[in-house]
Chain A
Amino acid sequence: MEKLLEVKDLQVSFQTYGGEVQAVRGVSFHLNKGETLAIVGESGSGKSVTSQTIMRLIPTPPGKIKSGQIIFNGEDLAKKTDKEMEAIRGKDIGMIFQDPMTSLNPTMKVGHQIMEVLIKHLKMDKAAAKERAIELLRLVGIPMPEKRVNQYPHEFSGGMRQRAMIAVALASNPKLLIADEPTTALDVTIQAQILELMKDLQKKMGTSIIFITHDLGVVANVADRVAVMYAGKIVEMGTVDEIFYDPRHPYTWGLLASMPSLDSDDKAELAAIPGTPPDLTNPPKGDAFAPRNPYAMKIDFELEPPMFKISDTHYAATWLLHPDAPKVEPPEAVKKRLRQLSSNYPQPVIVKESE
C-alpha cells in the first residue's frame, strides 16, 4: 500500500510561564492512501496538537517542533516556511474542526467561503467557482443549495454548518482530510449522517482521513486503523479489529472498560480510570500511565516501556508484553471482547529504536 503521510518521531513543545509543556513526545505513524486512521485519547493527550502540527497550525512561538519529520507526498512539512505551507493548507490537506460556529466566518456568506478555496487554489473564476460551490453543497447533502449558497452561517443549523465546513474542506479535492472531533458537538442522529457522508465522500474521492475523537463508538464506525495516545505518545496502534478485539495496553483496556455497554443490563460500577492525566511540563519518569495503571509494575516507574510488535500492524508500548512480565488478566469488560487473531506473532517482538 502506498503511504501518503509518514510522521517520524515528532516532538512538539510549548513554552509557557510554567515551563516547557511537552505536548507531543515522539510520535511516529503513517497513513496509507484512502484509509482512515483514528487517533483516540483524552484531552491533553496530544492528539489535536499532532494533527495541527501536520497542518502547521501551531503558533510558533510559543509552540515549537523540537524534532521529527512529517513526510507528506515525499516532502517534509516540518521544514516548510509559512509561505510554502499556504499552498498546501486547504489544497492538499483539508481540515474540519469540532465547532463549526467558530471555524466558519460569521460575516461571510457560506458560498463565498467555499469559493475562496476554489479561487485561490484551483484558480477558478468567480462564476465557475460559484457553480462548483453549489455543486459541493449539494454533494454534502444540503437541500436547496442555490439558495443556501447566499446565506450566512448563522442561518444554518449545527449539522448543516458541519456539512458546509466539510464542503469547504473538500472543495480543492485534498489528498488528506484531518477531522478534529467533527461530530462531538452534534446530536447522535446528525452525527450518524455526517459519518455516513464522510465515508461516502471518501469512497468517491479516495481521500485519506485522520479522524480525531474520544468516542470509541465513532472509532469503530469509521476507522481502518486506530492509534491510542496518552500523555503525548502513541501507546497502542493497530487495525480497528486488533484494538477492539485484542487490545494489549492497560490504557486501552481502561478506555474500553469505562464505557457502559448498551446491550448488557449490567449495573455494576463502571471501571473508571482513576486519577487524571499527568502534567506534561514535567512528564513522569518511566511510563506516564503508571500512576493510574492498576497493572503497573516496578519497572513502569523507572523505565519507559519500548514498543512491542504483536503483529505486522499491531504495536503496543507496555512492559506487560515483555517475556519476563507476569501474566495478567484484563478487566472483565475487556475479556468479553477478546478474540484470537490469526495474524499475531507467536511472541511479541521488541521494536528496535532504528526502525
Chain B
Amino acid sequence: MAEKQKLIEIKNLKQYFPVGHGQVIKAVDGVTFDIYKGETLGLVGESGCGKSTTGRTIIGLYQATDGEVLFNGVSVHAKKSSQELKELKRKMQMIFQDPYASLNPRMTVADIIAEGIDIHGLAKTKEERMKRVYELLETVGLNREHANRYPHEFSGGQRQRIGIARALAVEPEFIIADEPISALDVSIQAQVVNLMKKLQREKGLTYLFIAHDLSMVKYISDRIGVMYFGKMVELAEAEELYRNPIHPYTKALLSAIPLPDPETERVRRRTVYDPSQHNYKEGELLEFREITPGHFVLCSEEEYKKYKAMYS
C-alpha cells in the first residue's frame, strides 16, 4: 500500500438492541476505525463481543443506533434513493460463517451465484449470464459442471467457495467475511484463505475479516482490531499486535491460544484478564489513543502516560 486511501470510515458506531423492560444490550458501543483500500482488517474477540454486529451494521443489515459509516465518503445509513442504495449494496458484499445455512437449498448453484447479477442487471443475455457464472465458478476453483447442482451436493469447503463466488458476482470493492473458515476443516481452511488472498491480489479487494481463530487472522490480516464487550480495545498492524500487545485483554487473549508445539505448551502460562484491574475512577474518560504510530489502545489518560513511557 503505497498510498493509504480510506475506503471505509467508521465513526463512533453504536448498535443497541432493546431486550424489553426498558433494557438495552449495547452490542457495539462507540467503535471508531478506518479501513484502507486494498487492505485486510481482522476483527477478533470472543463471542458476544460485538464483532459480528459491527460487520452487519457496517453493511447496513442493521440500522445503526448512533454514529456513522462512510463508504467512499458516502454514509451507508443515511436516507438514499433506491438507485443509490442498490449501487452501494453492489459494492459491499458479505460472506457468512455457515455455508450450510447461507445458501438457499432450493436454488441451483447457478441461480445462487447469478441472483446478484440479475438484480443489478449486470448481464444482458442468458448466454452472458451463464458465462459469468462459469467464470466465477472457475475463479473460486470449482468447475462449470457444478452450476446445475444444488448446495446439498457439496462439501463445506465447496459451499464456502460458492458463497465467495456469489459475493464476487456483482464485482464488489469491499467484502465482509464473517468467520468464513470457522466451520471448515484445517486443510480446507488453508484452501479458502489462499483463495481469498489470491482474489484480493487480482481484484484489489478490501476485506473485513471477522474471526476468533487468531492464528489465521494474523496470517491474512494487515491490521487487526481486538474487541471486548462492544468496544474496540486495541488496533495495530498484525505483526505489531502479536509482538507487542499493550491492552491487558489482548495479552490474555494471545496467551490463551494453544500452539501446535508440545514443548511450548508444557510451559505455557496463561494470563487472565479481569476488567477491574484497570481501577478506573468514576467518570474517567476512556479514549482510543495512539501509543506508537498506528498502534491504538483504549485507555485512560493515566494509562496513556504509562503505556507511552513503556512502549515508545
Interface residues, chain A, with chain B CB atoms under 8 Å away = 42-43, 158, 187-192, 195-196, 214-221, 223, 240-241, 244-245, 254-256, 258-263, 265, 267, 269-274, 276, 337
Contacts and interface: CB of A to CB of B under 8 A. Distances in A.
Q: Which of B189, B212, B258 has the most CB of A within 10 A?
A: B258
Contacts of A217: 215, 257-260, 265
Q: Which of B185, B188, B253, B256 has the most CB of A within 10 A?
A: B185
A220 B259 CA distance: 7
B185 A244 contact: no
B140 to A, nearest CB: 14
B262 A270 contact: no
A273 B190 contact: yes
Contacts of B47: 158, 187
Interface in B260-305: 260-265, 268, 270, 273
CB-based closest 8 A-B pairs: A217-B258, A260-B219, A272-B190, A273-B187, A258-B190, A216-B260, A270-B190, A187-B46
Interface string B220-262: 0000000000000000000100100000000011001111111
Contact of B242 (A214, A220, A262, A272): A262
26 contacts: A42-B187, A188-B212, A188-B214, A188-B253, A189-B46, A189-B252, A192-B256, A195-B258, A214-B186, A216-B186, A216-B260, A217-B258, A220-B264, A220-B265, A223-B262, A245-B262, A255-B187, A258-B190, A259-B215, A260-B216, A260-B218, A261-B215, A262-B215, A270-B219, A273-B191, A276-B188
Contacts of A265: 239
A276 B260 contact: no
Interface stretch (B83-91, B100-108, B150-158): B150-158
A239 to B, nearest CB: 9
B70 interface: no
A255 B258 contact: no
A276 to B, nearest CB: 6
Interface residues of B, number: 39
Contacts of B261: 220, 244, 337
Contacts of A261: 215, 259
A343 to B, nearest CB: 15
Nearest to A191: B256
B5 interface: no
Q: Which of B191, B214, B273 has the most CB of A within 10 A?
A: B191
B194 interface: yes
A272 B187 contact: yes
Contacts of B156: 43
A241 B261 CA distance: 8
Contact of B258 (A187, A221, A267): A221
Contacts of A267: 219
Contact of A244 (B155, B190, B216, B262): B262
A259 B197 contact: no
A187 B78 CA distance: 35
Nearest to A157: B48
Given A195-B258, A263-B242, 18 more contacts: A42-B187, A187-B212, A192-B256, A220-B258, A220-B264, A240-B262, A244-B260, A245-B262, A256-B260, A259-B260, A260-B216, A260-B219, A261-B215, A262-B259, A265-B239, A270-B194, A272-B194, A273-B187
A170 B75 CA distance: 55
Interface in B189-203: 189-191, 193-194, 197
A258 B259 contact: no
B207 to A, nearest CB: 15
A270 B262 CA distance: 22
B186 A42 contact: yes
A241 B262 contact: yes
Given A216-B260, A220-B262, A272 B46 contact: no
Contact of A192 (B212, B216, B270): B270
A246 to B, nearest CB: 12
Contact of A276 (B155, B214, B252, B273): B155
B215 A276 contact: no
Contacts of B212: 187-188
Contacts of B158: 276
A269 B239 contact: no
Contacts of B191: 272-274
A260 B186 contact: no
B166 to A, nearest CB: 20
A189 B256 CA distance: 5
Contacts of A254: 187
Nearest to A254: B187
Given A188-B214, A214-B185, A219 B260 contact: yes
A55 B193 CA distance: 36
A290 B259 CA distance: 28
A243 B63 CA distance: 50
